[in-house]
């Protein structure tokens, strides 16, 4: 088959976090958050995007810092677990 290799969970998460354009997490962070979320990719993405959104020093090319924060928060909403209206301690 000439189709692309299936991305690992970690690679998929990194891609969806826009880590190529806007690196933020250290090596091993994806694995850590994945295990925290019992291997659930969407929950992991939601948590990691919110963490990323909190850092106002990040700069995605073409977006100011404030926009970057809003951008990652908006991405996080895509992966928000439907059953939880609130994050723990939120």
Q: pLDDT for 5-31, tens place per residue?
A: 788 999 999 999 999 888 899 989 999
CB contact at 8 A, 64 and 22:
no
Distance, CA of 22 to CA of 80 (rounded, Å)? 21
83: pLDDT confidence band, cut at 50, 70 and 90? low
Q: pLDDT for 48-73, tens place per residue?
A: 999 999 887 777 777 766 788 888 99
Q: What is the pLDDT of residue 86?
A: 53
Q: What is the pLDDT of residue 49?
A: 95
């Amino acid at each position: 088959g000439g189709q692309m290799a299936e991305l690992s969970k970690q690679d998929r998460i990194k891609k969806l976090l826009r880590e190529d354009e806007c690196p933020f997490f250290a090596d091993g962070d994806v694995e850590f958050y994945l295990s925290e979320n019992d291997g659930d990719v969407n929950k992991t993405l939601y948590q990691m995007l919110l963490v990323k959104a909190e850092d106002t020093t990040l700069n995605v090319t073409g977006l100011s810092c404030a926009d970057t924060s809003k951008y990652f928060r908006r991405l996080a909403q895509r992966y928000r677990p439907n059953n939880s209206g609130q994050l723990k301690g939120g």
